[in-house]
Structure 1
Amino acid sequence: MSNTTPSITFSRRNFLRTSSLASGGLLIGFNLFNACKPNAKPPVDISKLDFKDFNAFIKIAKNGMVTIFSPNPEIGQGVKTSMPMIIAEELDVLWENVHVQQGILDTENYTRQVAGGSQSIRFGWDALRQTGATAKQMLVNAAAVRWGVDATECSASKGVITNGKGETLGYGDVVEEAAGLEVPENVTLKEPKDYTVIGTDVGNVDIEKIITGKPLFGLDYKVEGMVYASVLRPPAFGQELESFDDTAAKAVPGVIDVIRIGSKVNELMGKDEVNWTVQMVKSEKVAVIAENTWAAMQGKKAIKAKWTDVSPLESSDFQDKKLMELLDGKDFVTQRKDGDVNRAFAQADKVLELTYESPFLPHNCMEPMNFFANVTDEKIHLVGPVQTPADAAATVAELLGRDVADVHLEMTRMGGGFGRRLYGDFVYEAAEISDAIKKPVKMVSSREDDMMTGVYRPAIKYRIKASIKDGELTGYHLKEAAINGNMYGLIANFFPAGALENYQVDTAFYESNVTTGAWRAPYTNFLAYAEQTFFDELAELMEVDKIKLRLDLLEKVKGTDDERIQYDPERMQNVIRTAVEKSGWGKQPEGTYQGFVSYYCHNTHVAEVADVQMENGMPVVKKVTCVVDCGIVVNPLGALNQIEGGVIDGVGHAMYGNFGFEKGAPTANNYDKYRLIRMMEAPEVVTHLIQNELSPTGLGEPTLPPAGGAVANALKAATGKRIYKQPFMEAPDFWKDTDKEIIG
C-alpha cells in the first residue's frame, strides 16, 4: 500500500513566497516539518536579501536554474543531497539544473534542524514534497494566465510548462508572474511510478569540494582578525581546576593570552532548568589564545595546572563491579511487563540465562571538535559543525545573558558526528572565550582532547533469561545495567515484545562522573548483539532451526492490536527470507561459516548474514550480506554508502573497540592505543534493498547494531566458541586455544 498522498492541502501560512524585483527571480521559502510559525513573514524588500534569512527555501532564477537550500546539519548521512532531491522531484526540474546550498539555523520559522536518530528524511518527507509541488503549481498557474487558459490544461516536466496546443514556457520565463499569484491551497503529489529524480543515483553535492580540499568543514572556516584557542580540561573525570601557572605558556611564540573559563557554564548548571547539553560540563578550564592552532596547542602543553579530586576517580574494574551489582540487585525500573515471567521460569522445563558485556566507546570523529565564535554587542556569530544547532544557540544565549535572537548560527559540513556533536560543550567554550577576549576565535581540539575529555557510549551489561516449556518459548526477561543510563533507555517494544505472553524489560544504572551520551545507533548498538546471539543459543537449546524460531515468533505478532509495538512482523519476515536467499544461507562451501541476525531499529527493518573464514587460526570476516527495508529509497547511491558504512563500523567496533578508565583517566588518548578496523579488514558488503512504496525511514544507523551479532554467530559456527563480551578480538590467542569455550 502506498503512503503517498495524491492531493494535499497546503496552508498559505506554511508557504512563504515573494517576488524579487532586483534579481528577476522567485524566492520560495518553506517549512520542512509543518512547523512554520503563523507569524512568519517574508522580508518586504528581498532585493536586499542575500538568501540567508531563511533556513531552507527554493530560489528560481530567470534562466531556469534552481537553488535549493538544505536546512539540516550534514554529517555525512547525505541529507544535503537527498532532501533537495525530494523537492526537485515534485518541482519537476532536471537535477543538473539544481544548485544546493547549506541553510543556516532559523528557529523562528522551522523546527528540528537536527542530525540524529536517522530521522531527517522520515520527518521531512511529506513537507518537502509539498514544497516542491506547490512551487510547481504556482509556475503552472502563471503560465496559464499568460496563455489565457485554465491551469488544468497545462502540465510541467523538467522545468518546462506545456499547454494543450503544445506551446511551452520555461520556469524562468514565468517566474515574475508566478510571484504575483496566490499560493494554491491544494496541490497534487506525484505517484512513485512517476518519479524521475527520487530513486536515481545522485552523487554527493559536495563531493568535488571534498576531494579538492575546498572549504566546507568547521576547521576550514576563517575570518579576518580571527585568533585560535586550545582548551586545557581536567585530565581525569572527578577532578576540577584549582590553580595554574601560565608563565611557560605565555613564552611560547604566537601565544597571545591565557584565560580561565567555565565559570559561566558552572553558574548556568546551578539553575533549576538547564538545557540538557550543558550537564556534561563540570569544571573550569584554561584557554590558551594564540595566533595559530599550533601555538595554542603548544601553549596548552606548557600550562602547569593543579587539579583537585572532587569525586571518586573511577577505574574500569570498579565500574565493572558496580554494573554487576546492579544486575544482581533489585533496584530496577520496569519498562514493560506482560504476564508473569517468574511463573514462566518456575514452570519451565529448561531455562537459559546469559550475561553480555560491552565497554565504553569514544566517537572517533575524523574532524576533532571545533567551533568559531565572534561575540559582539550587536550579535553572537557562531559557525561550525554541530548536530543540534538550535540547542547550541539557545544555550549560548542563556550562557551570555543575551536574547536568542542575537545569535546567528551557520552550520558547516561535519567530519563525522556519530552523536558526539549532539553535545555543544565545544560551542559554549568558543562563545565564552570570544566574550572574554572580545575577538573572533576558533576553538580547536586535538585528537587527544577528543578521546580524553569526550562524551562516551556508556559501558553496559545485559542479562537475558528465557524459559522453555514443552518445546515452546514461554518467558523472556531482559535486564540492563548501564553507567549513567543508556541514553533513552531500552526500547522495550522492539522484538520480541508482543510475541510472548510473559515478557519483561527492566533497567538500572548508577551515576558516574564520566560523561556519557548517544553513540551511533543509541540504545541498540550493543543490545542487538546481545539479543540476537541469545536467540541463536536459545534455538540450539530448543533444538529448532534458528531462522524458523524468529519467523515463528514474528508470526505471533501479526494482527496485534498492541499499539506499543513499533516493528512490522511482515516486513521483518520479508527481510529475513530475503537475507536467507541472497546470502546462500546454509549453502556455502566448506571453510565458510555464516552467522545470521535480524533487527529493527530507527524505524527500519534489517537482516544481515556474516561470512567468516579461518586464516592461520584466526577468524576473518569476509562478507556481510545486508537486506534493508527502509521504504522508498530517495538516493540509492547514498543509501548504499550509509548501509556499507554502518555495517563496517558495526563489525569494527564489535571486533576491536575497547575503551576504559584508570583512576578517572581514559586508558587511550590516540589511535596507537585505541584499535579501529583497518581497510584490509573491512569485509565486502553486499546490499539488497526491499522495493516498496512506503514512506522512507532511517539509514544512517540501523545497519550498525545487527553487524556485531551476525559476526558473533558466525564465529560460533567457525570455532564452536560463544562470545559474551566485546570486543571479540581483545585476546587474539583465545581463538587459537581450542581448550576454551567462551569469552566472558
Structure 2
Amino acid sequence: MTPSNKITFSRRSFLKSSALASGGMIIGFNLFNACKSDVKPSIDLSQLNYNDFNAFIKISPEGKVTIFSPNPEIGQGVKTSMPMLIAEELDVLWSDVYVKQGALDNKNFARQVAGGSQSIRHSWLPLRQTGATAKQMLINAAAAKWGVDASECSAKEGIITNANGETFSYGDVVNEAAILEVPENIELKKPKDFTIIGQNTANVDLDKIVTGKPLFGLDYKEEGMVYASVLRPPAFGEILESFDATEAKAIPGVLDVITIGENARNFIKKGYVSWTSIISGTDKVVVIADNTWSAIKGKNAIKATWKKESPLESTESHDKILLDLLDGTKFSTRRSDGNVKKAFAEADKILERTFESPFLPHNCMEPMNFFANVTADKIHLVGPTQTPAESAKVASALLDRDITEVHVEMTRMGGGFGRRLYSDFIIEATDVSNTIKKPVKMVSTREDDMTTGVYRPAIKYKISASIKEGKLTGYHLKEAAINGNMYGLIPNFFPAAAIDNYQVDTANYKSNITTGAWRAPYTNFLASAEQSFFDELAEALEVDRIQLHMDLLENAKNNPEPNIEYSPDRLQGVIKLAVEKSNWGKSKDGVYQGFSVYYCHNTHVAEVADIRMKNGIPIVEKVTCAVDCGIVVNPLGALNQIKGGVIDGIGHTMYSDFSFKDGIPQSNNFNAYQLIRMGQTPQVDVHFVESDIDPTGLGEPTFPPIGAAIANAVYAATGKRLYKQPYMSNMVLEKVVG
C-alpha cells in the first residue's frame, strides 16, 4: 500500500535511494506532435547547459530539467514512465524535461537491469523520494536567498513562490540548492494530487524512432570501427576442427579472418561463468571487414569442418525423455501441503492431463550486436544489453582486467524478451577487439540469432486432481523441462493454499542446447497448462468454471498459514471485472468464449477470449483483459505493454514452433518460423482495477493467461481440448475423456 507521506531522509539515504531506483531514464523534449515532420520543439532542451544537482537530475539556468535514466530501455517504456516519477515530485512541467540515457554507474545507481517486470515496482519510492528531496532543497535555497522560512514558500511547475508573491525559477537557485544539507523530512504527494503520474504520456524517443535517428545498438558507430561476423558451430554438441578462409579473404571489404576461443576456455576454467554468461568454449571463426555486408558474406564463405564433442540431440528424443521423467520418480518437491498421496488413494475419480510446449527462440527485431574497444587503459562497451553490470563483470573476467577499467554505455534495444540478459555476444565482441586491437562492432544475422541462440526450454506438465463425493480434494503438478525451467515452478502461486492437499514437483534433463529466460519466465506456458486444466476440472466437478475459481480463492483467504505470493482478493477482483466487461456467457451467435486468470510478476490478470471457427480454424476476434497492477503511472504506455503481451502470447500459443534434429535447429528464419501476422491480431479491450496500491509489473503478466483463454474457447466451440502448443501446427484436439 502507499506508505505514509512523511519520509525521514539523510544525505546518505538520499544517495542510496537514488542508487536503488531501478529504472529511471531521461525525460524527453517537448513530447510534441512527433508525427509531423515540420514541427520542431520550441526549445532544443538537449542543447542547453545544465548544472549538476544529483545523480539523476540536472537543471539549467532556464529552469529546464534533465533526468538521467540508469536502466536499459527495452521497449517497455521505462525511459518515459520512470522519469515521470521524479518529475511528479520535483514539480516541473513535463514539457520542460529532457531525458537522457545514463551509462553503467555502480557508485550512484543500482539494479540497472531490464527484466522481470520490476523496474517501476522497485523504483516507485526511490525515484519519487529523489524528486521530492530535490524540490525541498530548491525551496530551502530560495528561502535562504529571500531570508524567509522555507515553510512560507511553495513550488509548482518549476517556480518557487514566497508569501509576498516573489518568485525564483529552479534554475535561479540550483547551484545554491545542490550544496545544501539534505532535509531530514520530506513529504510525498498523495495520489489525488498527481499531475504527471496517471496521465497519457508519449514515448520520449518517439520522434527519433519514427524519423530513424540513431538510438539502437545497430546504429552505433565510432571512427576507425570495423565489423565482425562470427561463425559458430552449426549444431549444439559440435566443436571446430579446421577451416579454410581462402574464399572469405578474397571478398572485397574483408580485412582479416581470425579465431577466438582461448580466452573463453580460460574464463570457464576459472569458474567465472554466471547464469548470464552463457558461452561456448570452442574456437569460433571471425571475419573482420570494413562493412557489415562483407563481414557476413565472408563468414558464409568460410569452409569449416566440425566434430562431435557431445550428443547431438533431437526433439523426438527430448519428447520421450520428458515423458519418461513425468512418469518417473526423480523429482524435487517444491511445495507439499497436506497429504496428496492419501487424497488420491481415497478419490472416487482422478483427472490427469499432460500439456506440452516446444523450444522457442527470442527473435528480437534487432539481432544481437555489440561494440567493444579494448585498449591498454579501458574496455569500452556500447550496445543493447538488459544486464549492463553483468556485461562489465564478464568482460573484466574474460580479459583478467580490473572491473573499474570497464565502461558500459547502453543503447535502446530493438527487443529483448530475456535474450539480452545474457552476455555471450558481449563476450565475443570483447574478445575480438582484444585480439585485433581495434574498435569493433559484432553483428549477428537473423539466422545466427535463431540457430546459435538461447531458447525457452521445452517443457511438459502433468497435472492431476483427485475428486471425492463431487469435491476437489487434491492437486498434483509435475514439471519436466530441458535444463530446468530457470528456477523451477512458482509453487506459491495460485492454486497454492486454495487446496488442502497440494504438491508441486519438478524434474529436468540436462541438455547441451542453451536455454534461459524467455518473456514471462516460468509462467509463459505454465499458466496455459494450469488454466486449461481448471476449465476441464470445473466440468468434471460439474460446477461453473468462474465459481470454481472464486470458491478456491475463498479457501485461500481462509487458510491461516497460506504462504502465497498472490492476493486472493485481487485475483477475485480481476475475475469479476473480466466477467463484467467481456459480457461473459452472453456472446453473440457463433462467438465462443474462454476464460483464464493468472498472477505473475506481482500483477493479477484475468482474460476472456472471444473466437469464431472458420473452416475448422479458430479465429481470435477479441480479448478482454482485466488488470490489477496498482497505480498506473503512464496509461498510454501501460496499454501498449498490455496489448503487446496479449498479442505476443496469442502468436506464440497459436503458431510458433521450433525443433532440433541431431543438434541442428530446424528453422533459421521467418520463412520457416511463424510469428503472428497483423491480420491475425484481435481487438484487445483493457480494463484496470482502480487502486492506490504501489505499481507492479506490466511487461510480462498479460502474456501467460491468453493461451488457456484460447484453448478454453476452442473447447466451447468444438468440444475438444488442446494440450500441445503451438495449437495451429500441432492441433492436438482430443475429445474429453472421463
Could you state the TM-score of these two structures normalised by the residue count of structure 1?
Answer: 0.94
* Aligned-partner SS, 2:295: helix
* 2-structure distance, mates of 1:377, 1:173: 43
* 2-structure distance, mates of 1:102, 1:237: 37
Matches of residues 397-436 of structure 1 in structure 2 within 5 Å? Answer: 397-436=396-435
* 2-structure distance, mates of 1:108, 1:162: 35
* Aligned-partner SS, 1:387: coil
* 2-structure distance, mates of 1:163, 1:173: 14
| Closer, same or farther: CA 616–602 of 1 in aligned 2, 3 Å | same
CA shift at 1:147, angstroms?
A: 1.9
Deviations 1:23-73 (A, max 9, x none): xxxxxx9323499xxxxxxxxxxxxxx999999510011100000001100
Per the alignment, residue 39 of structure 2 pairs with none
Question: Does residue 1:741 correspond to 2:735, yes or no?
Answer: yes
Per the alignment, residue 262 of structure 2 pairs with 263
CA shift at 1:160, angstroms?
A: 1.2
Native 8 Å contact 1:71 1:103 kept in 2: yes
The one-letter code sitting in structure 1 at the alignment partner of 2:477 is L
The one-letter code sitting in structure 1 at the alignment partner of 2:295 is A
* 2-structure distance, mates of 1:731, 1:633: 38
Q: Which range moves more in the overlay, 172-181 or 63-72?
A: 172-181
The one-letter code sitting in structure 2 at the alignment partner of 1:172 is G
Native 8 Å contact 1:358 1:461 kept in 2: yes
Native 8 Å contact 1:643 1:700 kept in 2: yes
* 1-structure distance, mates of 2:54, 2:628: 31
* 2-structure distance, mates of 1:332, 1:101: 49
CA shift at 1:731, angstroms?
A: 4.6
* 2-structure distance, mates of 1:278, 1:7: 43
Per the alignment, residue 24 of structure 1 pairs with none
Per the alignment, residue 326 of structure 1 pairs with 325
CA shift at 1:278, angstroms?
A: 2.5
Matches of residues 214-233 of structure 1 in structure 2 within 5 Å? Answer: 214-233=213-232
Per the alignment, residue 174 of structure 2 pairs with 175
* Aligned-partner SS, 1:696: coil
* Aligned-partner SS, 1:174: helix
Deviations 1:260-295 (A, max 9, x none): 112211211122453222344342211100000000
* Aligned-partner SS, 1:557: helix
* 2-structure distance, mates of 1:112, 1:534: 37
Matches of residues 70-469 of structure 1 in structure 2 within 5 Å? Answer: 70-469=69-468
Per the alignment, residue 585 of structure 2 pairs with 586
Q: Which range moves more in the overlay, 287-296 or 272-281?
A: 272-281
* 2-structure distance, mates of 1:55, 1:64: 15
Question: Does residue 1:498 correspond to 2:497, yes or no?
Answer: yes
Native 8 Å contact 1:418 1:520 kept in 2: yes
Native 8 Å contact 1:83 1:128 kept in 2: yes
Deviations 1:476-524 (A, max 9, x none): 0000000000011100000000011100000000100000000000000
* 2-structure distance, mates of 1:629, 1:711: 21
Per the alignment, residue 18 of structure 2 pairs with 30
CA shift at 1:544, angstroms?
A: 0.1
The one-letter code sitting in structure 1 at the alignment partner of 2:516 is G
| Closer, same or farther: CA 731–566 of 1 in aligned 2, 3 Å | closer
Deviations 1:217-241 (A, max 9, x none): 0000001000000000000000011
Deviations 1:56-114 (A, max 9, x none): 51001110000000110000001100110000000000100000000000123322100
Q: Give the length in aligned residue pairs.
A: 714
* Aligned-partner SS, 2:508: strand
* Aligned-partner SS, 2:365: coil
* Aligned-partner SS, 2:276: helix
Per the alignment, residue 45 of structure 1 pairs with none
Per the alignment, residue 695 of structure 1 pairs with 694
* Aligned-partner SS, 1:704: coil
* 2-structure distance, mates of 1:442, 1:354: 49
* 2-structure distance, mates of 1:513, 1:52: 52
| Closer, same or farther: CA 282–659 of 1 in aligned 2, 3 Å | farther
* 2-structure distance, mates of 1:163, 1:330: 74
Per the alignment, residue 717 of structure 1 pairs with 716
Per the alignment, residue 525 of structure 1 pairs with 524
Deviations 1:645-670 (A, max 9, x none): 00000011000010000110001000
* 2-structure distance, mates of 1:162, 1:198: 23
| Closer, same or farther: CA 483–415 of 1 in aligned 2, 3 Å | same
* 2-structure distance, mates of 1:221, 1:428: 18
* 2-structure distance, mates of 1:170, 1:306: 69
* 2-structure distance, mates of 1:88, 1:171: 13
The one-letter code sitting in structure 2 at the alignment partner of 1:15 is F
Q: Which runs of 5+ in 2 are unaligned?
A: 24-48
* 1-structure distance, mates of 2:288, 2:561: 58
* 2-structure distance, mates of 1:104, 1:682: 37
CA shift at 1:16, angstroms?
A: 5.2
| Closer, same or farther: CA 310–460 of 1 in aligned 2, 3 Å | same
Please list every run of at least 4 consecutive aligned residues from structure 1 whose deviation after the TM superposition is greater than 6 angstroms.
Answer: 50-55
Deviations 1:433-461 (A, max 9, x none): 00000000000000000000000000000
CA shift at 1:349, angstroms?
A: 1.4
| Closer, same or farther: CA 56–308 of 1 in aligned 2, 3 Å | farther
Per the alignment, residue 58 of structure 2 pairs with 59
| Closer, same or farther: CA 439–496 of 1 in aligned 2, 3 Å | same
* 1-structure distance, mates of 2:51, 2:562: 42
* Aligned-partner SS, 2:83: helix
Native 8 Å contact 1:55 1:105 kept in 2: no
Native 8 Å contact 2:22 2:113 kept in 1: no
Native 8 Å contact 1:90 1:136 kept in 2: yes
Native 8 Å contact 2:385 2:420 kept in 1: yes
CA shift at 1:472, angstroms?
A: 1.4
CA shift at 1:208, angstroms?
A: 0.5
| Closer, same or farther: CA 320–55 of 1 in aligned 2, 3 Å | farther
Per the alignment, residue 636 of structure 2 pairs with 637
Native 8 Å contact 2:51 2:60 kept in 1: no
* 1-structure distance, mates of 2:161, 2:353: 67
* 2-structure distance, mates of 1:238, 1:714: 41
* 1-structure distance, mates of 2:22, 2:700: 25
Q: Which range moves more in the overlay, 470-479 or 408-417?
A: 470-479
* 1-structure distance, mates of 2:725, 2:665: 18
CA shift at 1:561, angstroms?
A: 4.5
Native 8 Å contact 2:278 2:422 kept in 1: no
| Closer, same or farther: CA 281–10 of 1 in aligned 2, 3 Å | farther
The one-letter code sitting in structure 2 at the alignment partner of 1:531 is E
Native 8 Å contact 1:87 1:128 kept in 2: yes
The one-letter code sitting in structure 1 at the alignment partner of 2:19 is N
The one-letter code sitting in structure 1 at the alignment partner of 2:690 is Q
Alignment identity in percent?
A: 67
The one-letter code sitting in structure 2 at the alignment partner of 1:322 is I
Native 8 Å contact 2:724 2:730 kept in 1: no
The one-letter code sitting in structure 1 at the alignment partner of 2:74 is I
CA shift at 1:163, angstroms?
A: 1.8
The one-letter code sitting in structure 1 at the alignment partner of 2:340 is V
The one-letter code sitting in structure 2 at the alignment partner of 1:71 is P
Per the alignment, residue 657 of structure 1 pairs with 656
RMSD (CA atoms)? 2.0
CA shift at 1:178, angstroms?
A: 1.3
Question: Does residue 1:472 correspond to 2:471, yes or no?
Answer: yes
Per the alignment, residue 34 of structure 2 pairs with none
CA shift at 1:630, angstroms?
A: 0.4
Native 8 Å contact 1:386 1:414 kept in 2: yes
| Closer, same or farther: CA 431–306 of 1 in aligned 2, 3 Å | same
CA shift at 1:186, angstroms?
A: 1.5
